[in-house]
Amino acid sequence: MPAVSVIVPNYNHSLFLQQRIESILAQSFQDFELILLDDCSTDNSREVMESFRYNPRVSHVVFNEVNGGSPFKQWDKGIILAKGEWIWMAESDDWAEPIFLERMMEEVKKVPDCSLAYANTWWVDEKGYKLWETPDSDKVTVYAGKDYIKQRLSVCNSIANVSECIFRRDKYRPAENGRYEWMRLCGDWFFYVLLAEQGCVVEVEQPLSYYRQHGHNVSEASEHKGLTFLEGADVLEYMIDHCGLESSDFAKGWGGMWFKYERQYMFAPEVSAKVKQRMSIHPDINRWYRLYQIKSWLK
């Protein structure tokens, strides 16, 4: 059995797919299988994937006949096919340094109870140019899972993207698929919470992957509609119910985020009404939201 199963879920990323796959095959750590999945792309992604079909590292090449409508359904499909102890979900438009797997496997072996590990990432534009500097201290921090949820996931998702992570396959919880598969924006956040509940989280402050930003910013349009905030509320309420969060862990941060998003993205009245209705069950968030409002009026 391979130590790692590398899953590449793809949809219409033929421009970047060759670089992504080659960066995986060039890893200094070679004990892995490669699973290539395509969600009914309309570009020439299929042709690119077919060119790697007979590489000895490639164990599966799967083409959907109908688009699944969710990247997280592709994640689930890949995990079901996987044989490795560890999973690397390598998004098709990103790429990695050759030492990514070697360094991550080196660190997780030191922490037997690790369920999730991640490194820093470079944020790059469509052509691969770095957008800003990323911390590179080489520091390694090990968190108990519940502590990581409280400190790093209770208000926002502190992991930039899934390509910078590896996680233990036996910590995957298929019974929880329905909680994140329908999400457009926060499914990965929910996924990390589910993993962190199962064990320790290891953070490596070394940029070992490249997170590509595209010209069409779908996420900002979703922010205008309040979708990130509303989906995030589902993640928050799961953490309250299952992870022991108390209002002191999240209320101030969520109140500030609500105030910031509403001002920055100029929510439409119907969006504001939905957010207020959703937040009505969290009085401490409402209190902090009002305090931020008052502070802005007094300036």
Give the per-residue pLDDT at 221.
57
The predicted structure's pLDDT at residue 219: 54
- State yes or no: pLDDT of 54 exceeds 90: yes
pLDDT > 80? residue 225: no
pTM reported for the whole predicted model: 0.94
User: Domain extents for the chain?
Assistant: 4-212, 218-298
**pLDDT (tens digit per residue) in 231-257:** 999 999 999 999 999 999 999 999 999
Q: Which residue has the tokens 């400190």?
A: 151
How far is the C-alpha of 68 from the C-alpha of 146, rounded, in Å?
32
Report d(CA 291, CA 200) in Å as an integer: 35
pLDDT, tens digit (0-9, with 9 covering 90-100), for 69-110: 888 999 999 999 999 999 999 999 999 999 999 999 999 999
The arrangement of secondary structure in 4-212, i.e. its CATH architecture, is: Alpha-Beta Complex (3.90)
Which pLDDT does position 215 carry in this prediction? 57
Measure the CA dihedral 75/79/81/83, to 10°. 150
Residue 216 has pLDDT above 50, yes or no: no
User: What confidence tens digit (pLDDT) does each residue in 104-141 have?
Assistant: 999 999 999 999 999 999 999 999 999 999 989 999 99
- Asked if residue 35 has pLDDT above 50, the reply is yes
Distance in angstroms (rounded) separating the CA atoms of residues 116 and 168: 7
